[in-house]
Amino acid sequence: MSGVSPESGANPARALDERFRAEIGTLAPRHVRDENLGPGISPDMLWELFDAQATSRHLDLAARALGVAKRGYYSIGSSGHEGNAALSVATRATDPALLHYRSGAFFVHRARRVPGLDPIRDVLLGVVAAAVDPISGGRHKVFGSKPAHVIPQTSTIASHLPRAVGLAFAIDRAARLGIPSEWPRDSVVLCTFGDASANHSTAAGAVNTAMHTAHQGIPVPILFVCEDNGIGISVPTPPEWIEHAYGTRPGLAYFDADGCDPIDALTASERAVRWVREQRKPAFLRLRTVRLLGHAGSDMETAYRRPADIAADLVRDPVVATARVLVERGLSKPDEVVALYDEIGHRVTAMAELVWREPKLTSAAAVTAPLAPAHPEAVRADVLRAGTSGAPQRADHASDAPPGRTAVHDQADSRSEAPGTASRYGARLTGPDRRTTRTTASASEPATTVAQAINHTLADLLARDPDVLVFGEDVGRKGGVYGVTKCLQKRFGARRVFDTLLDEQSVLGTALGAGLAGFVPIPEIQYLAYLHNAADQLRGEAATLQFFSHGRYRNPMVVRIAGLAYQKGFGGHFHNDNSVAALRDIPGLVIAVPSRADDAAALLRTCVSAARVDGRVCVYLEPIALYHTKDLHPGDGAWSAPAAGPHVEIGRARVYGDGGDLTIVSFGNGVPMSLRVADRLASRGVRARVLDLRWLSPLPVADLLAHARATGRVLVADETRHSGGVSESVCTALIDAGFAGRVARVTSTDSFVPLGPAADTVLLDETGIEKAAAELLAD
């Protein structure tokens, strides 16, 4: 430790920097050059490794200095993990990488393999949140690069692992189905994470999914890399726990390397990557590292770690270790290594002085620009696009396939969309432009239920678009719990319609990976209540990717979820769940809720096209209780309709009737209930119109205001809960817009949905709607 100034002890970053010079400066130069570094390892390779490691180290030091000077922001360093640069050496620049937040040296090395990239500038732009940051655009400090095939991740708890598994699966699936993908068929997906994350249920589930899939003979070329530094923030990981947990798993090849020994790290990384590339199966590499400079920022690890443990980690500093090999093998003199180290430091410091002056994001519009791209005309064109034959496509070999359709613009058509209902209420689509685009059918096209319309629409989409995949629990052979995907696997094959294992995180992870590989995935979550244990795959992964990559990466997907309440004789709260608050809180997420067959078809088509055109993440919430409903009133057949519904633009509502006394706003199960209430009100001389929101996010605010102002009274009939329900946002939208009329709401109770008749005591019902309407009209 000679040569380290006494005052540097108060500054761990400075102490680490000075320690490098002290350690290397005391080495005696070797006059015999030993280039026998191991199979496939050249001196140039070792120099490249050191350069990337030293650059990553100086980037850590610069990030801390920028933070102290109030010019940079929170970031987590990679010091002690620089051995992960060996993984970049072992992989191709076209292998997709989903990185741990300490994989800085990997990023530096990978970026330098791509002409035109400057990892020093790119990383520092992220540290200072500059608007010109080439990956996040100033929104977060992440390791990511489209040209370098590094998919940005902000995860600290392994939430990116399901996506990585999905991508490994989808790369091969895309090649087999002829879907264009940016990654070669023999790519290896690299996924790095920490030892603490390895204990998270998300990581365990993702590894299990990879093994489960590979066990069936399906290629899953993924290398899981656990960068094991032995501690998660302040909680130690038991020694050898990672090997104990993952080292003897059947179907998971296991490799181990000392990330603080450059030769061992290079050798093991090359072996592991080669094995995965050749076998197309998952493997696990434990890369033993150390954590220097604490967890992040101002973390003082002396508060929870023994001095002896901190000192032991310093002895294993991987940057020092690589420099020592260069000197001890006679590949360089000590002063030459130190000179290169200092020269890198000067370059990083000079760049830091430049980048902190770069402009930051200065408006909410600029910040949110990548969240919800919307090109409605392009989406409309994709909805109405004919198949490859030049005509609308259908599954001709299916006996119950929907007949062919053609697209026309016809406002009059929208007034006769359902027998009974239309004539009674004059059902029509409304929107700011007052246009209706209808996909018309022949007069003989049969009326369908919501479930049948979804089935027919999925069949149409699968027949027309080879990039569509349909999958989830029980969707294949069984055809879904409610028969919604019946016969689709038989018609289109198990490569495009398939069952997954019973793990919602893996279902959504498969969709996340498939979207990256060029597909438009339509995963199914069997029940709304089942989503909640995997909601972070939507919030933390799907919805954030466009945001944190400034739109350079997208997650096109339409998540079908069977949900809401009113199932008779079945369920309890797991099968009757009316909680959608967690979904409505996710920025940029599209939420569609059809209530009848033609809307079920139209909204699904719109969601799929929005995913394809704009990369939107859509949730398509299907009211289970309306799946097979045919009647509005007993025996009238008014709640069935042809599946050839009109194109419905995102954020456009549907109105039934033109009554001038009251607007009842609802969605899902509440729509037919509200229509029946409107009938009873009409018998008493009250003329009410019913507005079906159809979109819970974004809300159809323009339509809502137009019909609210037309009557001056609004009743929101909300089947979700009183607290955190949809009605809160509807009322808020009216208030924000300055609506001066009367507003009331009637909702379900703040309760889980119980089994049997007890459910009737807590759910919205027609009696409650009618009573609330009467009270509102009486004022």
For the segment 303-343, what is each residue's pLDDT rounded down to a tens digit? Answer: 899 999 999 999 999 999 999 999 999 999 999 999 999 99
Output the average pLDDT for the chain.
90
C-beta separation of 652 from 616 below 8 A: no
Q: Are 764 and 718 in contact (CB under 8 A)?
A: yes
At residue 714, the 3 state secondary structure works out as strand
Tell me whether residue 575 is one of the annotated catalytic residues: yes
The first and second tokens of residue 341, run together, are 């180290």
SS3 breakdown of the chain: % helix, strand, coil, rounded to 5?
40, 15, 45
Tokens standing for residue 570? 């079945």
Instruction: Parse the chain into domains and list their residue ranges.
Output: 20-358, 450-623, 654-777
* H helix intervals, 684-725: 701-711
Helix (H, G, I), strand (E, B) or coil at 590: strand
Helix ranges restricted to H, 478-629:
488-492, 504-516, 528-531, 536, 543-548, 581-584, 597-614
Going by their DSSP bridges, the two strands 428-429 and 654-656 should be labelled as antiparallel
Q: Which residue has the higher pLDDT, 647 or 438?
A: 647
- Which DSSP category does 307 fall into? H
Distance CA 145, CA 661 (A): 57
**Which string of b and e fits 28-58 if b means at least 16 CB within 10 Å?**
eebeeeeeebeeebebebbbbbbbbbbbbbb
Strands 97-98 and 189-194: parallel
- β-sheet bridge partners, residue 428: 655
The model's pLDDT over 26-71, given as tens digits with 9 standing for 90+, comes to 999 888 888 889 999 999 999 999 999 999 999 999 999 999 999 9
Q: DSSP letters along 595-656, please?
A: -SHHHHHHHHHHHHHHHHHH--EEEEEEEGGGTT---SSTT--TT-B-S-PEE--TT--EEE
Active-site entry in 58, 140, 550, 575:
575
Helix boundaries (H) for 178-292:
201-215, 241-246, 262-279
Burial of 388 (0-12, 13-18, 19+ CB in 10 A): exposed
Q: What is the pLDDT of residues 363-372, one digit of tens each?
A: 999 999 999 9
Angstrom distance (rounded) from CA 21 to CA 14: 11
Domains 20-358 and 450-623 in one fold: yes
Predicted confidence at residue 156, as pLDDT, reads: 65
Q: What is the CATH number of domain 654-777?
A: 3.40.50.920
DSSP 728-775: HHHHHHHHHTT--SEEEEEEE-SS---SGGGGGGTS--HHHHHHHHHH
Pick from 475, 513, 481: nearest CA to 209: 513
Burial class (CB in 10 A: 0-12, 13-18, 19+), 529: buried
User: Confidence band (pLDDT; 50, 70, 90) for 431?
Assistant: very low
Query: Per-residue pLDDT tens for 671-700?
Result: 999 999 999 999 999 999 999 999 999 999
| pLDDT class of 762 with cuts at 50, 70, 90 | very high
Contact in structure between 683 and 775 (CB atoms under 8 Å):
no
**Domain spanning 20-358 has what CATH number?**
3.40.50.970
Measured CA to CA, the distance from residue 599 to residue 665 in angstroms comes to 16
pLDDT greater than 50 at residue 438: no
Which parts of 152-253 fold into alpha helices (H)?
A: 161-177, 201-215, 241-246
**Looking at the predicted structure, is the pLDDT value of residue 426 above 50?**
no
End-to-end CA separation in angstroms for the chain: 84
Q: What is the mean predicted confidence (pLDDT) over 179-202?
A: 95
Residue 151 confidence (pLDDT)? 96
CB 196 within 8 A of CB 232: yes
Confidence of residue 644 (pLDDT cuts 50, 70, 90): confident
User: Residue 345, SS3?
Assistant: helix
CATH class belonging to 450-623: alpha beta
Please report, for residues 236, 378, 411, 606, 643, the alpha-carbon distance to residue 414 in angstroms, rounded to integers and kept in the order given.
Answer: 64, 22, 6, 17, 14
Q: Does residue 556 contact residue 515 with C-beta atoms inside 8 Å?
A: yes
Taking Cα atoms as reference points, which of 386, 393, 382, 440 lies closest to residue 414? Answer: 440
606 pLDDT above the threshold of 50:
yes
Q: Residues 6 or more apart from 567 whose CB is under 8 A from it?
A: 575, 576, 624, 625
Per-residue model confidence (pLDDT) at position 436: 34
134-148: pLDDT as tens digits? 999 999 999 999 999
Residue 621 has pLDDT above 90, yes or no: yes
Cα 138–Cα 143–Cα 147 angle in degrees, nearest 5: 95
CA distance 370 to 545: 9
Measured distance CA(163)–CA(168) in Å, rounded: 9
Q: Which two tokens stand for residue 297?
A: 């920022």
